[in-house]
């Protein structure tokens, strides 16, 4: 089981690099869907292990909820939002892609050295998993602030949430069920509110470029 979780943590980190290298919003949504599927698979592996050794089924329920919300519902919602806003071919990022990828590499190195002295996660494969998942949080934040389009920033927010969830899951072998459900409810609420904001930005400025919001300054 441990080797599968190690591979999944590496794939999650690599997916964040792929996300950063993608230029189109549809590619961002597909990468988020793949990333969420990997998290669901990790939760499923931990859930099967928990069921066998402890008789718990809560992680398997969490796996099913992740598939329903993050793999199916949210990507479809983002596709509908994007389909209903005016499409314009505009540069979606502030920095060039090679610079962004280099920034991601620096984030991973920084995270490794920042966590290397932390008690409890400074040995073995668990350190690698936590380093990869914390790097995912920081890269999600970096992605969010490096994008101009509102939908791209929503995807960045979702990647940050993915990173927080998987960090907690790897570090604790599964959070309490009520905590997981609370996170999912908050996530759905945030995505729906952000989707409405995208419509309003597009309606007001005929674009989903957040730089247009500078026009609101007094």
Long-range Cβ pairs for the range 98-106 (8 Å, 24+): 100/20, 100/21, 100/142, 100/146, 101/17, 101/20, 101/21, 103/142, 104/16, 104/17, 104/20, 104/139, 104/142
CB-count exposure of residue 171 (10 Å: 0-12, 13-18, 19+)? middle
Mean pLDDT of the region 94-110: 88
Question: pTM of this prediction?
Answer: 0.82
Mean pLDDT of the region 193-213: 61
Most confident stretch, 80-94, 115-129, 150-164, 189-203: 150-164
Mean pLDDT of the region 76-101: 73
Q: What pLDDT was estimated at residue 89? A: 47
Q: Which of 46-55, 144-153, 185-194 has the lowest mean pLDDT?
A: 185-194
Most confident stretch, 57-66, 87-96, 166-175: 57-66
Long-range Cβ pairs for the range 59-68 (8 Å, 24+): 59/174, 61/177, 62/174, 62/177, 62/180, 65/180, 65/181, 65/184, 66/36, 66/39, 66/40, 67/37, 67/40
- Asked if the model's pLDDT at residue 92 lies above 70, the reply is no
- Asked if the model's pLDDT at residue 187 lies above 60, the reply is yes
What does the domain layout of the chain look like in residue ranges? 2-216
């Amino acid at each position: 089981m441990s080797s599968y979780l190690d591979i999944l943590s590496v794939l999650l980190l690599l997916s964040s690099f792929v996300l950063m290298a993608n230029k189109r919003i549809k590619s961002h949504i597909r990468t988020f869907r793949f990333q969420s599927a990997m998290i669901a698979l990790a939760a499923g592996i931990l859930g099967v292990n928990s069921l066998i050794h402890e008789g718990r089924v809560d992680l398997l329920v969490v796996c099913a909820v992740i598939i329903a919300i993050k793999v199916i519902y949210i990507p479809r919602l983002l596709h509908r939002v994007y389909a209903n806003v005016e499409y314009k071919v505009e540069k979606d990022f502030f920095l060039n892609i090679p610079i962004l990828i280099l920034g991601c590499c620096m984030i991973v190195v920084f995270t490794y050295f920042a966590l290397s002295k932390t008690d409890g996660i400074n040995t073995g494969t668990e350190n690698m998993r936590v380093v990869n998942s914390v790097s995912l949080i920081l890269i999600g934040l970096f992605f969010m602030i490096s994008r101009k389009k509102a939908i791209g920033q929503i995807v960045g927010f979702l990647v940050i949430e993915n990173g927080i969830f998987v960090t907690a899951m790897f570090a604790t072998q599964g959070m309490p069920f009520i905590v997981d459900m609370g996170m999912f409810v908050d996530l759905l609420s945030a995505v729906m509110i952000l989707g409405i904001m995208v419509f309003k930005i597009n309606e007001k400025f005929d674009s989903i470029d957040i730089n247009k919001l500078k026009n609101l300054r007094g």
